Amino acid sequence: MSDPIPAYVHLLRAKDLIDRSYGEPLEVRTLAREAFASEAHFIRSFRAAFGETPHRYLQRRRVERAKELLRATGDSVTEISLAVGFRSLGSFSRTFRELVGEPPSAYRAAWRARGEPAIPSCHTLMWTRAVLEKPAPPGGASVAA
pLDDT at residue 77 greater than cutoff 90: yes
Mean pLDDT of 78-99: 95
Alpha carbon distance 108, 69 (integer Å): 9
DSSP percent split of the chain into helix, strand, coil, nearest 5: 65, 0, 35
Does 132 fall in a domain?
A: no
Does 52 fall in a domain?
A: yes
Does 120 fall in a domain?
A: no
Domain tally, the chain: 1
Mean pLDDT of 28-51: 92
Say whether pTM exceeds 0.85. Answer: no
Note down the domain range covering 24. 7-114
Does 60 fall in a domain?
A: yes
What is the model's pLDDT at position 96? 96
Does 137 fall in a domain?
A: no
Q: State percent of the chain over pLDDT 70.
A: 74
What is the model's pLDDT at position 133? 61
Lowest average pLDDT, out of 12-21, 42-51, 110-119, goes to 110-119
Mean pLDDT of 51-74: 94
Per-residue pLDDT band for 66 (boundaries 50, 70, 90) equals: very high
Does 2 fall in a domain?
A: no
pLDDT at residue 18 greater than cutoff 80: yes
Measure the CA angle with vertex 94, ends 89 and 95; round to 5°.
100
Mean pLDDT of 16-26: 92
106: domain CATH number is 1.10.10.60
What is the model's pLDDT at position 144? 54
Does 44 fall in a domain?
A: yes
Does 89 fall in a domain?
A: yes
